[in-house]
Amino acid sequence: MSFENKTALVTGASAGIGYGIAKALVDAGARVIITGRHAERLDKAVAELGPNASGIVADATKLADLRRLFDTLKADHGHLDVLIANAGGGEPVPLVDVTEQHVDDTLTWNLKSTIFSVQFALPIMPSGGAIVLIGSNASKAPPIGMSVYAAAKAGVRALVTGWVQEIKGSGVRINVVSPGPVRTPGLEGFFAAEEAEATFDFLAGQSTVGRIGTTDDIAAATLFLAGNTAGYINGIELFVDGGAARL
Ligand SMILES: NC(=O)c1ccc[n+]([C@@H]2O[C@H](COP(=O)([O-])OP(=O)(O)OC[C@H]3O[C@@H](n4cnc5c(N)ncnc54)[C@H](OP(=O)(O)O)[C@@H]3O)[C@@H](O)[C@H]2O)c1
């Protein structure tokens, strides 16, 4: 699938799933802007992605950063064809230990960031534009301790269901890709080094295809939904999790 002459923004893309999507978009011919909170990580990723990539340091949870990001995008590129709202994450906290801070942080990281990324992007997206939000299969099959995160990601699905009605006629489509476990720095950070291999084997066993996901799996689904061949697909949540969420 070609993204020649398309301008794409991937939030949270100096590592992990976002980086994988950004790389696939660059390989497909897009001009890709990536964001992250830490300049040195972002600069390294931009250098690896090559001349069709550029980086803007921006925290997707902070409105001032998002305003600066989209003002810069408009000034530099005029418009945006593809938005991948990927920045997000969570940490395991069982209900008994959930704090006000955990709730605020998790909802801010996954919902506030997504809401305002889309709100700021839409005015510079022409007809034919596509938005893909990165959810999680936790929204259907929450791992123990991930209920607040799962609720936030279920909220991402709810947002899209409403938004496709609100922007009907704009020519911009919005869909959700919901990954199962993918071995990224974010997921690895959950487990002690000595537990990691056993944990990833356990997670692979929960999938019906016998393995966990890769960033390439998630990028392939994301580019499909962002591309023109998916022009009749709007408002869906596509689970890319080896069938795990249906068990
Ligand atoms: N990995 C999985 O198994 C999995 C499964 C289902 C869903 N997901 C979802 O997939 C997305 C990516 O997860 P991941 O595992 O790839 O994460 P990751 O390995 O932790 O990488 C996150 C990337 O996003 C950046 N980032 C984090 N918070 C940000 C923010 N507020 N603003 C801008 N950039 C930010 C990080 O760079 P800086 O730290 O420099 O900002 C990094 O480049 C998340 O929405 C996550 O919930 C992941």
Question: Which two three-digit tokens encode residue 109?
Answer: 């990281």
Ligand 1: residue whose CA is nearest its atom 18: 186
How many residues appear in the chain? 247
Output the six-digit token pair for 223.
Answer: 């580019």
Q: How far is the CA of 169 from the centre of ligand 1 (A)?
A: 32
In degrees rounded to 5, what are phi and psi of residue 127? -55, 140
* Residue the block writes with tokens 């790389």: 23
d(CA 168, CA 86): 23
Any atom of ligand 1 within 6 Å of the Cβ of 181: yes
Residue 246, SS3 per DSSP: helix
- Residues 221, 163: Cα–Cα separation, whole Å: 21
Q: Which residue has the tokens 């609100």?
A: 166
Question: Ligand 1: which residue has its CA nearest to atom 39?
Answer: 37
Tens place of pLDDT per residue across the chain (247 aa): 899 999 999 999 999 999 999 999 999 999 999 999 999 999 999 999 999 999 999 999 999 999 999 999 999 999 999 999 999 999 999 999 999 999 999 999 999 999 999 999 999 999 999 999 999 999 999 999 999 999 999 999 999 999 999 999 999 999 999 999 999 999 998 888 898 899 999 999 989 999 999 999 999 999 999 999 999 999 999 999 999 986 5
Cβ of 208: how many Cβ atoms within 10 Å?
10
Between CA 149 and CA 153 the distance in angstroms is 6
Q: Which CATH number fits domain 7-184+214-238: 3.50.50.60, 3.30.43.10, 3.40.50.10480, 3.40.50.720?
A: 3.40.50.720
Please state, in angstroms and rounded to a whole number, the distance separating the CA atoms of residues 150 and 156: 10
Residue whose Cα lies nearest atom 8 of ligand 1: it is 136
Beta pairing partners, 134: 177
Model-level pTM?
0.98
**Atom of ligand 1 at shortest distance to CA of 185?**
19
Backbone φ and ψ for 56, nearest 5 degrees, come out as -130, 120
Res 193: pLDDT: 86
> Residue 122: which of 63, 72, 170, 62 has the closest Cα?
170
* Closest ligand 1 atom number to CA of residue 45: 43
User: How many CB atoms sit inside 10 A of residue 79's CB?
Assistant: 12
Ligand 1 pocket mutation, candidates 37, 149, 218, 240, criterion most atoms within 8 A of CB: 37
CB-ligand 1 contact for 207 (6 Å cutoff): no
Based on the residue annotation, tell me whether 149 is a catalytic residue of this protein.
Answer: yes
Cα dihedral sign, 121-122-126-127: positive
The tokens for 25 are 């978009």
Question: Quick check: 235 and 174 in contact, CB under 8 A?
Answer: yes
Q: For residue range 56-83, list pLDDT tens digits in order.
A: 999 999 999 999 999 999 999 999 999 9
**Side by side, which strands form the sheet with 53-57?**
53-57, 31-36, 7-10, 82-85, 130-134, 173-179, 237-240
